[in-house]
Amino acid sequence: MRTALVAGNWKMNGTRASAQALLAELLAGLSAAPAQAQVVVCPPFTLIPLVAELLAGGASVSYGAQDVATEKSGAYTGEIAAAMLTDYGCRYAIVGHSERRALYGETDAIVAAKYTAARTGGLIPIACVGETLQEREAGQTEVVVARQLDALLALGNEALAAGVIAYEPVWAIGTGKTATPEQAQEVHRFIRARLAAQSATVAEGLQILYGGSVKGSNAATLFAQPDIDGGLIGGASLSAAEFLQIIRAAG
Ligand code: PGA
């Protein structure tokens, strides 16, 4: 049985004050009713020291980064390495988010390199895959997701087993247009089957999250699907009440 995981991707949002308020409300909600799911927040880099401080002492919430450098250290202006993140207690790093693929030119090869950098640097990579609206309408969903996935499958079973996959249809991200539970499940099943073709054990154990306009009101039906093991939550993770409702839905 796979444990459910709910991860919040704060994207480029938040100040010290807003992060403090958000986490205080989240922790209060979780202490009133402990989560059945693993809970992770991914703040922007600048807020990681504060989040580390606020979640210190075995809090029920883990945290991670939204990206990680492919390299370990050196002359890479603006980059943040895995070791800098684990230095602050980060456990996770999102890699290959569609915004990074589309806006910053991250290729499947770069995403695979980031996956490896995260994993070998002591972080659990949350690798995102997903098709655009144009690709879906052209009937290319499986082709695109398979191509993105194969770059990770090539890293081998041990590497795969150490990560998390997030299926995020690009047309559903931040648009309010959630995939239906059936649409999401269809792709999740496809992803798990493709993993199973390489290793049934890895496929069975791997958490596959859904992301794209998940809200308190639609989370439960998505998470009820057999191959959906939780969610990667953008906008709704900035509201403690919404995020708590989503966490409960994954319980
Ligand atoms: P959204 O974002 O929940 O705001 O659609 C999800 C994501 O980009 O991870």
Full DSSP string of 152-163: HHTT-HHHHHTS
Burial class (CB in 10 A: 0-12, 13-18, 19+), 103: exposed
Q: Give 75 Cα–ligand 1 centroid separation in angstroms.
A: 32
pTM (predicted TM-score): 0.98
**pLDDT tens digits, one per residue of 176-229:** 888 999 999 999 999 999 999 999 999 999 999 999 999 999 999 999 999 999
Percentage of residues of the chain with pLDDT beyond 70: 100
State the average pLDDT for the chain.
97
**Catalytic (active site) residue 97:** yes
* 215 CA closest ligand 1 atom index: 3
Best mutation site among 9, 99, 170, 243 for ligand 1 pocket (most ligand atoms within 8 Å of CB):
9
Write out the two tokens for 107. Answer: 């290729």
pLDDT for the residue numbered 57: 76
Return d(Cα 163, Cα 155) in angstroms, integer.
11
pLDDT for the residue numbered 91: 98
Nearest C-alpha to atom 2 of ligand 1 is from which residue?
Answer: 234
Which entry of 106, 131, 168, 242 is annotated as an active-site residue? 168
Write out the two tokens for 199. Answer: 């290793």
Q: Residue 104: is its pLDDT beyond 90?
A: yes
**pLDDT tens digits, one per residue of 29-88:** 999 999 999 999 999 999 999 999 999 977 799 999 999 999 999 999 999 999 999 999
pLDDT for the residue numbered 50: 98
Q: Give 233 Cα–ligand 1 centroid separation in angstroms.
A: 5
pLDDT for the residue numbered 247: 98
pLDDT for the residue numbered 62: 98
Percentage of residues of the chain with pLDDT beyond 90: 96
CA angle 88, 102, 172 (to 5 degrees): 90
